[in-house]
Structure 1
């Protein structure tokens, strides 16, 4: 038995209502360029809209002009999507409350997640959307996932409840120490002011 190794998210497809609602939200609120559209090749009664969330991957929406927006949250049952999270810059996150308030979009307010900050709100069809901003930048050659994996290991070693700033800083230090060569035989912390 062998795995089918994935290499990232290719796209996420959402069942939408009408075309205009989809464009107004995904491009008009979240700023995702509307790249192209074509018929849903499995259902000729639906359109298929493609948006770029900022990393070159795709968010796609099936539309039907006969479907009306239903703002009730989708059921929270096993196998159903709880929410979609999109990365934003620290600057964008700092403006999120103001910009959501300008539009009258109800939201959670900023949430401290230890290794990131988040804010939640619902899109016009009730799907929960999260805007997330990491509190760190990974060192060159490492990913956010690498830092979080190492921070988790440190958190478990220390028997802490959740990842916080100290775990992130120490994880980044470990990744640099193990991932970068040095002419020093001893790379222990020093005090040059003593």
Structure 2
């Protein structure tokens, strides 16, 4: 039934700063933007909705809703982050670009199955660029994920 991710949506503080990060820095094209002036239930509002396209047709979307309070805090990786798959060769150039542009960054982290670099977007969200490690492909199916989950719950 489920085919793929359509979009994942987040709040943003400043649509232009968000556009600059996702389009200019990450290279994701701004594929749609529209103003929502009335909700489906008829409530008046003023919200800007942005969509940034991924190569598989899915999107990362943002709502700028200045009239609706939202606690923008720097997220911890374990709390909330999005990971985007990239080729291994793009990790170092993206770190270098982030350094030149003053974007908070860290990495390269070796997780055993992927190498990752991390950036903080203008809204405090963590964006991970993850490159598969070729040798790790042999690890798929090594652990039964249901068994790992059951063991975690027992402990």
**Segment drifting more, 86-95 vs 26-35:** 86-95
Number of the residue aligned with 1:29: 25
Q: Which has the higher contact order (CA 8 A, sep 6+)?
A: 2
Counterpart for residue 93 of structure 2? 95
Query: Any stretches of 5+ residues in structure 1 without a counterpart?
Result: 138-146, 157-194
Count of residue pairs the alignment pairs up: 139
Of the candidates 2, 7, 28, which is equivalent to residue 11 of structure 1? 7
What are the within-5 Å matches in structure 2 for residues 107-186 of structure 1?
107-136=105-134, 151-154=139-142
Pairwise CA distance, 1:68: 10
The structural deviation recorded for 1:75 is 7.3
**How far did residue 72 of structure 1 move?**
2.9
| Change beyond 3 A, Cα 1:76–1:22 | closer
TM-score, structure 2 as length reference: 0.74
Distance 1:67 1:104, change over 3 A: farther
Structure 2 distance, partners of 1:136, 1:16, is 35
Give the aligned partner of residue 34 of structure 2.
38
CA contact (8 A) 2:6 2:57 kept: no
Return the alpha-carbon distance in structure 2 between the equivalents of residues 61 and 35 of structure 1: 12
Is the radius of gyration larger for structure 1 or structure 2? 1
- C-alpha displacement at 1:74, in angstroms? 3.8
More strand by share: 2
CA distance in structure 2 between the aligned counterparts of 1:112 and 1:104, rounded to whole angstroms: 23
